[in-house]
Structure 1
Amino acid sequence: MSALTTKLVRDLWRIRGQAVAIGLVIALGVLMQVMQSGLVVSLDETRRAYYERYRLADIFAPVTRAPEHTAQELRNLPGVSAVETRVVGQALVDLPELDIPIRAQAISLPDIKKARLNLIYLTDGRSFATNRQDEIIVLQSFAQAHGLQPGDRISATMNGARRDFDIVGLAMSPEFLFAAPPGEMIPDDSRFAVLWLSRPAMEAAYNLNGAFNEALISLSREADTPAILRAADQLLNKFGGLGAFPLEDLASDKFVSEEIDGLRRTSATVPPIFLAVAAFLLYIVISRLLDSEREEIGLMKAFGYTDWEVGSHYLKMILTIAGGGAFLGGILGIIAGRALIDVYLIYYKFPFLVFRLEPLSFVVGFGASILASSVGGLVVLLRVFALTPAVAMRAAPPPDYSRSGQIGKSLAAYLDQPTRMVLRRLTRQPIRMIGAIAGVSAGIALSASMASILASFDKMTDLTFDILDRSDVSVSFINPISSQSLFDIQSIDGVIETEPVRIVPVIFRNGRLSYRGAVNGLTEFPRLNRAVDAAERMIPMRKDGVILSSGLAKILDLHPGELLTVDVREGRRPILQLPVVAVSESLMGSPAYMELAALNRVLGEPGRVSGAFLRTDEKLQGWTYKQLKEMPMVAGVSLKSESRGAFQKVVDQGAGAMRYIMALIAGVITFGVIYNAARVAQAERTRDLAALRVLGFTRAEVAFVLLGELVVVTLLALPLGALAGYGLTFAVSQGFSTDLYQIPSHFNVRSFGQATVVVIVAALLSGWLVKRNVDRLDLVLALKSRE
């Protein structure tokens, strides 16, 4: 081992506390890079393989009723490789142990050996016999949620008629990676079922003998998707086409895609922040080390070591810390990725999902760590090159404090000696103090922003389920019905208040921009389900135009006063030109609103409703649900309490749990910044502190001289960190938001208070660790000149 290598090991051991703290910051950046890149690759590749193996369709073309021979016309379209038709319908599953019926989607399925598109993965049991119309296959996640197995019998209401079925198999499907009830955005295995039946059974149940109501289309690689969508719509329009849409508009695929895109964005933005902080800390530590080893550098050059040899010695120290942190981050990233894979399997129904390591993430993580650390190292090398042996071996010229002003001089007479020492250091080295304040402010800003994001998720839950939706139950009907039918619901014992709604599926268009969604027709002054503005004030429904949610307005790039094209996909399917009259706040989905009567008028269907929001008597809820279950017009019943519980589970245990990881990382970085600031101050003043002890200062007074500086820096950093955290909150909330849900930017006193607690705890812990080192100082060794 060479002399410089021996010195390198000795120096690393001497600054081991700072090296470990900096290495952990680097490790966190690499951890996020490796974990999130691996999750992106794992989800994306598994999804692609799953879609290909089970032949998920590229285009879905729903229609009211089309004769079977129309499928051949679709097959003749240029670029179409396969077409399969099926019958799809809504259903209600009745389980004896539940008061409310469970919403389900019933789908026809040909013989598994003959199926060409949208195959299922049979996990238990067998396929149904084509000549048995009472046998079904059930979605595995729903069956497991209710303890159902092959051989069990269930009842379901289809098209208003009640039927009994034998479960012969359980299955998974790439079409239902994200299983949520129709019209909802919250997955809940216990509240949504998929039932696969034979084609003859479905045709009989929904009166579609010799016809279909959905075509599945697979495309060749060179196909022009927009052209085929237009051609399919032209063919199916005369049969009540509801608008063909590509795979990326399928609700299940959209949820998975948003999750993958969110991980991809985070992996590209968060790790560089950590690495920049680590590079800044490394530069401070190494530059202070150079100042303290000035004479040693001169001696090494005097003994014949070249500038490159001496400079590379300190560069090796930087690279050792960075490389060690990157290696640790890579290992932790693999462990964290494998742990999160199990979480994703809960919410995305893949048959399997194995964490796949992305080699490029290691290369990027290690490369970025080394590059970020080397930036500060280059500055260090320049300083080493500039020192000649004669200059380096002389004591450094004392700093010039003549221009530091008289700050604090008037207070000197009222302060004791240790306090004056703290004040002098703060006023005579302003640049160094500003750097320390900036570092601690960055930690406060990061902690404050993450505390705000935690509060924003709670705010989103409260706004969605307490302010926007004040109902207890929502009911949907099989088809739009006369509003007079609501009197039947209002007359049920236990129903206190009823509010009608009409939800119309549409395609919103603004030039090239489009979005498949729905217009919600509400009463003029709704009470149970409302639209609100940014101040959470109720927005009355308008008869002269449509109100867009903020998320939808952003997607379509529309503002109040502009015209919106609304392509209605039910009934007569008119194409409407409606003015945008207001923008409302909405955190779940991207809805649009209009006054109910005005919506029915432009559709040419007066007095129609598709559902209702109910406020019920808690004591009579069981009876109320039982009566709703018996109504043939009811297609689904949803309890707000169950929806809220499912949503809370998703954000706490599912993908939303990533915010807790980010908050933990923010706390670690904050501690690393403060601890390094304290250790750097200790390293710079070790000799001075030892001298104070020899002069008779107590350990408490010596610690006060050192830690008083940390206290002042932390207190000055708090307001600056609050301002930076306020701005960072908006950036982070935008990063978490997607087209499907928006995280509000919610920075308040409580969030700043939580961040302040984190900073104070980090400062106290750092101060305790540093004080312990000061108390253990070997006075003789500290006062010796280092040779």
Structure 2
Amino acid sequence: MNTLHSKLLRELWQLKGQMASIALVVATGIMTVLTMRGSYDTLVQAQQSYYAQTRFADAWAPLKRAPNSLRERIQAIPGVANVDTRVSFLATLDLPGLDAPAQARLVSLPEQRRPEINDIRIRSGRYLAPGAASEVLISSKFADARALRPGDTLRAIINGRARTLDIVGIAISPEHTYAVPPGALYPDDKRYGVLWMGRKVLGPAYDMDGAFNEAVLTLSPQANPQAVLSRIDTLLDPYGGLGAYLRKDQASHLILQGELDSNKVMGTVVPAVFLGVAAFLLNLVLTRLIATQRGEIAVLKAFGYRSREVAIHYLLFAMAAVAFGAAIGAVAGTLLGSAYVNLYGAYFDFPQLDYQLSPLLLAIATAITVAAAAGALLAVRRAALLPPAEAMRPEPPASFRPGWLERSGLARTLPSSARMVLRNVQRKPLQALLSSLGVSFSVAILIIGLAMFDGVQWMMDLQFRVIQREDLSVSFDEPRTVAVTYDFYNLPGVTRVEAYRLAPARLRSGHFEKEIAIQGLAPDGRLRRIVSASGGEQPLPAEGLVLSAILARQLHLTVGDQVDVAFLEGQRRRMQLPVAGIVDDLLGVSATMNRDALQRAIGGPVMVSGAYLSVAADALPQLERTLKAAPAVAGVASPSTMLASFEKQMDDSLFIAVGFLLGFACVIAVAVIYNGARISLSERGRELASLRVMGFRRSEAAMLLLGEQALITLMAIPIGWLLGYGLSYAVVAALQTDTYRIPLVVHAPTYLLAAAIVVAAAVASGALVRRRINRLDLIAVLKTRE
């Protein structure tokens, strides 16, 4: 071990506190990259592998009823690689311990072979036996939520007939990676599941013997997807086709892809911000730290060490902190990445979801921090270029002139210690600005996390307390005459009933089209309203459509435009309807009309798809039991239950992310303030000790140093507020999906909380530095030769 190596180890030990704080900044930056971007890469790989292994469909074509012979005609359409037909219906489940009816999606499976498209994975148990009339496979999440296992039984209402089903296996399917009830955005695993039954059993149960009501397809690589869908719709139109759609519009994939897109943004933007901040702070702190070793560099030069050797020595000094931080970041990033991926595994059903540490990702993140640390060698170069005799002397004082403090006359009104603090900041404005900018990043990062929480809370309150004001939402198994809604008033506790109508339709504007269920609301409705993201109510027009802003953008429509509407049920009319309004809503994609106007557009007798109910609180359990026994009721949804499910999902994900941001912001604040104070102490140790010898008390001497750090922190807070708002705007804008749009909402307490956390971190850092100020060696100062 040579002399420089001994010096390196000795100084690393002497500066262990500062090196540890720098290493923590590096570790958090690398940890963020590995956790967030690594989780995204893991999820994408799991999705692609799962889809390929199970031959996930490229398109779906639901319809009312068609003979099996039609399969060959679909297969003959140019661009169709393979097609499989099946039977699929919604059924009601009678579950013990549950007052409200539960729903299940029944899907047929071939008994003699596995599905050629959308194959399933058996998690436990076995596949269906040929000809077994009561055997069923159930989805994994539903089984876990209801504690069901192979060998248990289920009671289901299948086409109006009660049947007892024997569970023979637990399965997962790429179609239901994220299983949500029809029309919902969030899972309710205790009330909704997927059941697979034999085709020869399920078909006759719904009068579908020799027929099908859904086709699933894979497309050839050269296929024009829209042209294929158009040919399929034309072919299935006489059979009650409900509109073919591509994988991108399939419910489970749409939600999963939206989550992946959001994760990609968070896994790219947030780590980039964090790693950029880490690189900035690393360069800032190391540059100042190395600059304090001007004398040591001169001595090394005087003893014959070349500039290159000195530069390598200090590069190793910087790399030691980076290497230590990279090691911590790699371990912590792997652990957090695994936890993050497991969190997604609680909602998305993949056959295997194991976090994999990407060596390339680790290398890129480490290289960025190494480059930042190497930038600190500019300070070494400046010192090394000086002649040794000149560099051994203390750096000459700068030429100071009276500043704004003296010219304003404010100096005469302040205590001497306060004047000294202000003068020092005033005379080194760039250093103070950079330090303040470093602290402001911690404020900004806190604002990002807390603003996400504010936005989600606003979205939840708006959706479940302002828009959805009903106590229960009841959906029928098929459209019923409007007279059925009057029967609700005879049920216990019902105080208000508002019927609604859902009509599947294809909206087209030029070359752009979208299939959606148009919702018809009661003209004088109070239980379900159209409300914008800002909370303003949108009146329901007598005629025309009110579109979600995101849907209007997809179709390139504005208020007053005409949109082509092709209804996919009833008389299957085609017409043009005006866009009467556009609402900037937050959840899903919607097209809404006056219920009476929608009925006139559809034609035929007045029908309704369900009703929103206002119910006395004490009557809810009894009403749910009554609805559970009603054969026409396909499902009952409770906004309070949906809110609880949403809040649980947010608790599991958002609060963890906010806690992560909180920890990182504190690390940044401590690293900047603690290192800034320690370096200032190294630069001004003799000055402070001399003041102590001249009669200054410990608190007065500490005030000169810590007061400067306090001023820098206070300057950083408003800068951090502005940075935080701007970064929050960018993150929120990048997170917009068809599933949800988090609004940019930053409440006043959020700014105050971010400032309070950073101030608390600054106080903790100041307390650590204060101990060192109190231990200044005054005898050594008296022996100092100037």
Pick the TM interval, shorter chain: over 0.9
- Aligned in 2, Cα 1:716/1:656: closer, same or farther, shift over 3 Å? closer
Structure 1 range deviating more: 440-449 or 752-761: 440-449
Alpha-carbon separation, structure 2, partners of 1:511 and 1:681: 67
Alpha-carbon separation, structure 2, partners of 1:382 and 1:579: 71
Look up the match of 2:775.
Answer: 776
Kept after mapping to 2: 8 A contact 1:85/1:216: yes
Residues 49-86 of structure 1, C-alpha deviations (whole Å, 9 max, x = no match): 22222232222111111111111122223343322110
Residue 484 of structure 1, CA deviation? 2.0
Look up the match of 2:681.
Answer: 682
3-state SS in 2 of match to 1:347: coil
Look up the match of 1:254.
Answer: 254
Residue 637 of structure 1, CA deviation? 0.7
Alpha-carbon separation, structure 2, partners of 1:34 and 1:370: 17
CA RMSD of aligned residues (A): 2.5
Kept after mapping to 2: 8 A contact 1:310/1:384: no
Alpha-carbon separation, structure 2, partners of 1:604 and 1:81: 38
- Aligned in 2, Cα 1:721/1:525: closer, same or farther, shift over 3 Å? farther
AA paired with 2:749? Answer: R
AA paired with 2:475? Answer: S
Kept after mapping to 2: 8 A contact 1:525/1:540: no
Kept after mapping to 1: 8 A contact 2:498/2:613: yes
- Aligned in 2, Cα 1:448/1:43: closer, same or farther, shift over 3 Å? closer
Look up the match of 2:462.
Answer: 463
- Aligned in 2, Cα 1:501/1:662: closer, same or farther, shift over 3 Å? farther
- Is the aligned partner of 1:83 residue 2:65? no
Structure 1 range deviating more: 134-143 or 512-521: 512-521
Residues 102-132 of structure 1, C-alpha deviations (whole Å, 9 max, x = no match): 0111111111635322222223333333323
Residue 669 of structure 1, CA deviation? 2.5
Kept after mapping to 1: 8 A contact 2:449/2:657: no
- Aligned in 2, Cα 1:4/1:290: closer, same or farther, shift over 3 Å? same
Query: What does residue range 242-281 of structure 1 map to in structure 2 within 5 Å?
Result: 242-281=242-281
Look up the match of 2:358.
Answer: 358
Alpha-carbon separation, structure 2, partners of 1:49 and 1:112: 26
Look up the match of 1:305.
Answer: 305
3-state SS in 2 of match to 1:185: coil
- Aligned in 2, Cα 1:405/1:98: closer, same or farther, shift over 3 Å? closer
Alpha-carbon separation, structure 2, partners of 1:332 and 1:784: 47
Residue 370 of structure 1, CA deviation? 1.8
Look up the match of 1:725.
Answer: 724
Structure 1 range deviating more: 436-445 or 125-134: 125-134
Residue 317 of structure 1, CA deviation? 2.4
Alpha-carbon separation, structure 1, partners of 2:697 and 2:639: 65
Kept after mapping to 1: 8 A contact 2:28/2:329: yes
- Aligned in 2, Cα 1:536/1:643: closer, same or farther, shift over 3 Å? same
Look up the match of 1:233.
Answer: 233
Kept after mapping to 1: 8 A contact 2:383/2:391: no
- Aligned in 2, Cα 1:266/1:172: closer, same or farther, shift over 3 Å? same
AA paired with 2:396? Answer: P
Look up the match of 2:155.
Answer: 155
Look up the match of 1:65.
Answer: 65
Structure 1 range deviating more: 300-309 or 642-651: 300-309
- Aligned in 2, Cα 1:356/1:704: closer, same or farther, shift over 3 Å? same
AA paired with 2:232? Answer: A
Look up the match of 2:9.
Answer: 9
Residue 596 of structure 1, CA deviation? 1.2
- Is the aligned partner of 1:635 residue 2:634? yes
Residues 629-659 of structure 1, C-alpha deviations (whole Å, 9 max, x = no match): 2322211111122111111111111477434
Kept after mapping to 2: 8 A contact 1:520/1:593: yes
Residues 523-567 of structure 1, C-alpha deviations (whole Å, 9 max, x = no match): 234211111134412211113322222333444454333444444
AA paired with 1:559? Answer: T
Alpha-carbon separation, structure 1, partners of 2:54 and 2:275: 42
AA paired with 2:66? Answer: A
- Aligned in 2, Cα 1:334/1:82: closer, same or farther, shift over 3 Å? same
- Aligned in 2, Cα 1:522/1:784: closer, same or farther, shift over 3 Å? farther
Alpha-carbon separation, structure 2, partners of 1:442 and 1:551: 32
- Aligned in 2, Cα 1:328/1:636: closer, same or farther, shift over 3 Å? same
Kept after mapping to 2: 8 A contact 1:729/1:746: no
Residue 30 of structure 1, CA deviation? 1.2
Look up the match of 1:748.
Answer: 747
Look up the match of 1:74.
Answer: 74
Residues 249-279 of structure 1, C-alpha deviations (whole Å, 9 max, x = no match): 2211122222222222222222222222223
- Aligned in 2, Cα 1:44/1:722: closer, same or farther, shift over 3 Å? closer
Kept after mapping to 2: 8 A contact 1:344/1:655: no
Can you give the 5+ residue segments of structure 2 that lack an aligned partner in the other structure? none
Can you give the 5+ residue segments of structure 1 that lack an aligned partner in the other structure? none
Look up the match of 2:180.
Answer: 180
Look up the match of 1:758.
Answer: 757
Query: What does residue range 663-678 of structure 1 map to in structure 2 within 5 Å?
Result: 663-678=662-677
Residue 201 of structure 1, CA deviation? 2.2
Alpha-carbon separation, structure 1, partners of 2:469 and 2:642: 13
Kept after mapping to 2: 8 A contact 1:139/1:171: yes
Alpha-carbon separation, structure 2, partners of 1:287 and 1:780: 30
Alpha-carbon separation, structure 1, partners of 2:699 and 2:137: 75
Kept after mapping to 2: 8 A contact 1:475/1:612: yes
Alpha-carbon separation, structure 2, partners of 1:91 and 1:347: 23
- Is the aligned partner of 1:542 residue 2:541? yes
Kept after mapping to 2: 8 A contact 1:79/1:224: yes
Residue 699 of structure 1, CA deviation? 1.3
Query: What does residue range 566-715 of structure 1 map to in structure 2 within 5 Å?
Result: 566-605=565-604, 607-654=606-653, 657-715=656-714
- Aligned in 2, Cα 1:216/1:132: closer, same or farther, shift over 3 Å? same
3-state SS in 2 of match to 1:762: helix
Look up the match of 1:23.
Answer: 23
Residue 405 of structure 1, CA deviation? 4.0
Residues 159-187 of structure 1, C-alpha deviations (whole Å, 9 max, x = no match): 33333322232222222110111110111
Alpha-carbon separation, structure 2, partners of 1:149 and 1:599: 45
- Aligned in 2, Cα 1:714/1:783: closer, same or farther, shift over 3 Å? farther
- Aligned in 2, Cα 1:311/1:72: closer, same or farther, shift over 3 Å? same
AA paired with 2:119? Answer: L
- Aligned in 2, Cα 1:429/1:213: closer, same or farther, shift over 3 Å? same
Residues 723-775 of structure 1, C-alpha deviations (whole Å, 9 max, x = no match): 33222222232344432111111112111111122012111101111111211
AA paired with 1:444? Answer: V
Alpha-carbon separation, structure 2, partners of 1:585 and 1:17: 51
Alpha-carbon separation, structure 1, partners of 2:465 and 2:400: 61
Kept after mapping to 2: 8 A contact 1:107/1:197: yes
Look up the match of 2:436.
Answer: 437
Alpha-carbon separation, structure 2, partners of 1:323 and 1:3: 22
Query: What does residue range 455-494 of structure 1 map to in structure 2 within 5 Å?
Result: 455-494=454-493
- Is the aligned partner of 1:139 residue 2:139? yes
Structure 1 range deviating more: 3-12 or 244-253: 3-12
Alpha-carbon separation, structure 1, partners of 2:782 and 2:56: 76
Look up the match of 1:349.
Answer: 349
Residue 190 of structure 1, CA deviation? 0.6
The alignment covers a number of residue pairs equal to: 786
Alpha-carbon separation, structure 2, partners of 1:759 and 1:550: 38
- Aligned in 2, Cα 1:432/1:568: closer, same or farther, shift over 3 Å? same
Kept after mapping to 2: 8 A contact 1:408/1:423: no
Kept after mapping to 2: 8 A contact 1:533/1:583: no
Kept after mapping to 2: 8 A contact 1:311/1:384: no
- Aligned in 2, Cα 1:784/1:69: closer, same or farther, shift over 3 Å? farther
Alpha-carbon separation, structure 1, partners of 2:534 and 2:774: 55
Residues 214-261 of structure 1, C-alpha deviations (whole Å, 9 max, x = no match): 112123444443333233223222212222222232211122222222
- Aligned in 2, Cα 1:579/1:382: closer, same or farther, shift over 3 Å? farther
Structure 1 range deviating more: 198-207 or 63-72: 198-207
Kept after mapping to 1: 8 A contact 2:518/2:593: yes
- Aligned in 2, Cα 1:112/1:141: closer, same or farther, shift over 3 Å? farther
- Is the aligned partner of 1:380 residue 2:385? no
- Aligned in 2, Cα 1:205/1:262: closer, same or farther, shift over 3 Å? same
- Aligned in 2, Cα 1:545/1:26: closer, same or farther, shift over 3 Å? farther
Kept after mapping to 1: 8 A contact 2:112/2:130: no
Alpha-carbon separation, structure 1, partners of 2:286 and 2:153: 72
AA paired with 1:255? Answer: I
Alignment TM-score, normalising by the size of structure 1: 0.94
Look up the match of 2:126.
Answer: 126
Alpha-carbon separation, structure 1, partners of 2:32 and 2:745: 25
